[in-house]
Amino acid sequence: MPGELVLIDYQHHLAFTGDIYVNIHGMTREQAAYNQYAPVLMTSVDTDPALCARERAAILQRLGAGEWKIFGAHGMMKEYCLQAE
């Protein structure tokens, strides 16, 4: 979506992705219950599913090797590890 902002701290391996990345597996029970309303209210969580998938892939490609902490707009922090080849 135009205007989305992603902040990546390469020194500390932190990524703040806003609504582009959502950790659905790290949601509290209350967050998961509230999230059930999104498809009803918005038709879809992703306004353009193909574009959203490309955005998420682009973020992960930019992170590089190492252990990362990803903070999305919803759900708990996600740890992400990419091994160097």
* Tens-binned pLDDT, residue by residue, of the chain (85 aa): 566 789 999 999 999 998 887 777 777 788 778 777 766 666 655 677 788 889 889 999 999 899 999 998 777 888 999 887 6
Q: What is the pLDDT of residue 15?
A: 95
Q: What is the pLDDT of residue 85?
A: 65
Amino acid, single-letter form, for residue 51: L
Burial readout 36-74 (b: 16 or more C-beta within 10 A, e: otherwise): eeeeeeeeeebeeeeebeebbeebeeebeeeebebbbeb
Which tokens hold the place of 47?
Answer: 């306004």
**Residue 10 Cα distances to 13, 37, 76, angstroms:** 5, 35, 20
Q: What is the pLDDT of residue 81?
A: 92
Q: What is d(CA 19, CA 6) in angstroms, rounded to the nearest whole number?
A: 9
Sorted by where each begins, the domain ranges of the chain are 7-82
pTM higher than 0.75:
no
Q: What is the pLDDT of residue 52?
A: 82
